[in-house]
C-alpha cells in the first residue's frame, strides 16, 4: 500500500523546492521554518555544565526503543552515528532492570559508552522497571489478572535501580535516567487511579511519590555525586499538574540533576514546552522539554523564554542523525525531514523488528557502513 505521507514529501525540503519551485508547507499545520535561525550566539548550540558533566550543546537524543540488541554492533553503530551527528546528550533507550541482573549487557555496555563519548556526546542510560517480578506481571494494585506487588517487593525496587545505575557507571556512562513516565510501572505508583494501595506506597500524594523518590535517592547513593541522575516524568495524566510540581521539588531534594518532562502522547491542547516551563518554575535543576521542537527557531524560543534548559528531539534524529551538525553548519536545506508517518519507527514497536525510517534507508543499517 502506498504511503500517502511519504509520497507527498520527498526526502528533504531542497528536493521538494526543486520540484515545485516553492517552499513546502506540511499539512495539519506543521509549518516549515523561515530559516531565521543563526548558529552564532545560539542558546540551543551553547554548552551546559551539569555537576561535573559538560554537555556540548542543549540538544538531547531522548530514549526511544530501537528493538536492537544493546550489546550488539547494530545498536552501537546506531547510537554512535547519532552522537557523531552532534547531539549534546544521548540517552540510551529504556533498558529493563533484569537485563542488568542477568548479565546480558555486561559485554556490550562499555563499548556503547565509549562509542558515544568518542563522538563527543555525553551518555546516559534510561532504566526501566518492566512491571514483572519473578516472571509474573505486577502492578501497584490488583487489576484483572495482574496482582499487586507486596510491600516487600516494592521496597526492594530502589535497590534494583541502584544496582543497574552502578553497572552503567562502571561501564563508563555519565549517568542514568529513572523512567517514571508514560503510565509505566513507576508512573502508575504516582497515579491515584492506578494506585489504590493502603500501605506506605499508596494513598496520599506523599505516599504515591515515595517509590519514585526512593529510586532516585538509591541511584544517587550508589553512584556518587559526580554521576548524573535524571528522572523522566509525565507532568499531567490522571493527576493534576500541581501534584507533579510538588513531586519535581522533591526530586530535586532527592539529588536528581535533570528532570525530563515527557507529556502524555494522548494529551491534547497543551503545549509541551509549557508543561516543562511549569516544572522549571518549581525547581533549580535543569529541565528537558520534548515534543515538536526539531525546528531550531522553536527550540531557541523555548530556551530564550526560560521554559527549559535542554531540548529533546526524537523522531527527527532518527530520520537525520546529522540534524544538529547541519544546523550548526547552516546546511538546513540538507536536513532529511521527519514526516511523522511513524511507519518504521513507532510501527516497528508492534512488529519487534529493529527500527528504520521511511525517509532515510540508512537508519538501522549503520553497522553495515564502512
Instruction: Identify which of 315, 324, 317, 50 has the alpha carbon closest to the alpha carbon of residue 175.
Output: 50
CA distance 12 to 336: 5
CA distance 89 to 276: 18
CA distance 362 to 347: 17
Question: How distant is the alpha carbon of residue 16 from its chain centre?
Answer: 31
Catalytic residues: 184
Spell 354-363 as b/e; 16+ CB within 10 A means b.
bbbbbbbeeb
Q: Give the HSE-up count for residue 72: Cα atoms under 13 Å, Cβ half-sphere.
A: 12
CA distance 319 to 337: 7
Instruction: Identify which of 259, 265, 292 has the alpha carbon closest to the alpha carbon of residue 180.
Output: 259
Look up residue 47 and give its three cell numbers: 554548552
In eight-state DSSP terms, residue 122 is: E
Note the helical H segments in the chain: 4-8, 13-20, 73-84, 97-101, 109-118, 151-171, 185-190, 205-223, 241-253, 272-280, 296-304, 315-319, 323-328, 346-351
Q: E strands along 145-291, which residues?
A: 147-148, 175-180, 228-233, 258-261, 287-290
Look up residue 231 and give its three cell numbers: 528522572
Site of grid cell 525517509: 359
Q: Give the HSE-up count for residue 21: Cα atoms under 13 Å, Cβ half-sphere.
A: 0
Query: What are the Cα distances from residue 13, in Å, to 16, 33, 316, 338?
Result: 5, 11, 14, 11
Amino acid at each position: 500500500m502506498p504511503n500517502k505521507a511519504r509520497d507527498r514529501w520527498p526526502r528533504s525540503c531542497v528536493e521538494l523546492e526543486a520540484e515545485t519551485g516553492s517552499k513546502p508547507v506540511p499539512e495539519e499545520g506543521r509549518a516549515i521554518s523561515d530559516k531565521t535561525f543563526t548558529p552564532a550566539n545560539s542558546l540551543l548550540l551553547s554548552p551546559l555544565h551539569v555537576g561535573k558533566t559538560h554537555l556540548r550543546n542543549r540538544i538531547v537524543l531522548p530514549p526511544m526503543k530501537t528493538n536492537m540488541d544493546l550489546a550488539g554492533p547494530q545498536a552501537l553503530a546506531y547510537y554512535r552515528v547519532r552522537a557523531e551527528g552532534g547531539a549534546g546528550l544521548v540517552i540510551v533507550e529504556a533498558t529493563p532492570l533484569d537485563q542488568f541482573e542477568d548479565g546480558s549487557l555486561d559485554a556490550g555496555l562499555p563499548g556503547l559508552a565509549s562509542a558515544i563519548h568518542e563522538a563527543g556526546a555525553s551518555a546516559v542510560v534510561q532504566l526501566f522497571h518492566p512491571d514483572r517480578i519473578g516472571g509474573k506481571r505486577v502492578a501497584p494494585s490488583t487489576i484483572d489478572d495482574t496482582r499487586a506487588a507486596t510491600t516487600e517487593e516494592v521496597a526492594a525496587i530502589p535497590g534494583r535501580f541502584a544496582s543497574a545505575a552502578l553497572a552503567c557507571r562502571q561501564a563508563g556512562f555519565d549517568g542514568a535516567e529513572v523512567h517514571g513516565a508514560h503510565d509505566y510501572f513507576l508512573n502508575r505508583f504516582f497515579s491515584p487511579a492506578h494506585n489504590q494501595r493502603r500501605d506506605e506506597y499508596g494513598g496520599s500524594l506523599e505516599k504515591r511519590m515515595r517509590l519514585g523518590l526512593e529510586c532516585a535517592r538509591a541511584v544517587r547513593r550508589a553512584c556518587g555525586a559526580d554521576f548524573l541522575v535524571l528522572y523522566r516524568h509525565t507532568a499531567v495524566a490522571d493527576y493534576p499538574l500541581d501534584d507533579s510540581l510538588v513531586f519535581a521539588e522533591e526530586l530535586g531534594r532527592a539529588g536528581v540533576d535533570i528532570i525530563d518532562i515527557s507529556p502524555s502522547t494522548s494529551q491534547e491542547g497543551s503545549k509541551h514546552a509549557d508543561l516543562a516551563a511549569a516544572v522549571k518554575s518549581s525547581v533549580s535543576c535543569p529541565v528537558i522539554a520534548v515534543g515538536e521542537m526539531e525546528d531550531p527557531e522553536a527550540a531557541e524560543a523555548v530556551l530564550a523564554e526560560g521554559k527549559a534548559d535542554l531540548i529533546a528531539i526524537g523522531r527527527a534524529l532518527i530520520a537525520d542523525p546529522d540534524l544538529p551538525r547541519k544546523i550548526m553548519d547552516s546546511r538546513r536545506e540538507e536536513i532529511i525531514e521527519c514526516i511523522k508517518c511513524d511507519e518504521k519507527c513507532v510501527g516497528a514497536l508492534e512488529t519487534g523488528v529493529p527500527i528504520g525510517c521511511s525517509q532515510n534507508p540508512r537508519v538501522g543499517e549503520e553497522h553495515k557502513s564502512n
